[in-house]
Amino acid sequence: MAYPLDHAVYIRVNGYCIAAIQVSGTEYVEANSPIQLMCNATGRPEPPHSVDWYKDGSVVRSDANGGVIITKKIETRVLVSMLVVKHSRISDSGTYVCRSSNGETGTIVVHVLSGK
């Protein structure tokens, strides 16, 4: 069973929000269940050009054969990136960071729980 949680970081200049990162997704999951994390990166007048994912300080790369998939799409003024780990392992526990090309970051801590 997964338990999602949202985290958001905003930058304000002269009272106006110009950039934000919101990270949400699976915080607690049983081993072998999927982890799904979502990063929404906004900006004005345009969203950031890209985002990268990190786990415990190391870059996470998409690896379909290894069961890790990262997708990115642009919606209205928002760059949305999904990180999916199809079959989680205890070693997938850790701190995940989404970092946008404009330098903003959002963080979520994932705990993979051992089964019975």
Closest CA to 24 of 34, 9, 11, 39: 39
Q: Residues 6 or more apart from 42 whose CB is under 8 A from it?
A: 17, 19, 20, 21, 77, 78, 79
- Measured distance CA(62)–CA(8) in Å, rounded: 24
**CATH architecture observed for domain 3-113:** Sandwich (2.60)
Would you report the helix, strand and coil content of the chain in percent, each value rounded to 5?
5, 65, 30
pLDDT of residue 82: 97
pLDDT of residue 15: 47
Low-confidence ranges of the chain (pLDDT < 70): 1-19, 116
Model pLDDT for residues 56-88, shown as the tens digit of each residue: 999 999 999 999 999 999 988 899 999 999 999
pLDDT of residue 75: 85
- State the pTM of this model: 0.82
Largest CA distance in the chain: 53
pLDDT of residue 46: 83
pLDDT of residue 13: 45
pLDDT of residue 19: 56
**Domain ranges in the chain?**
3-113
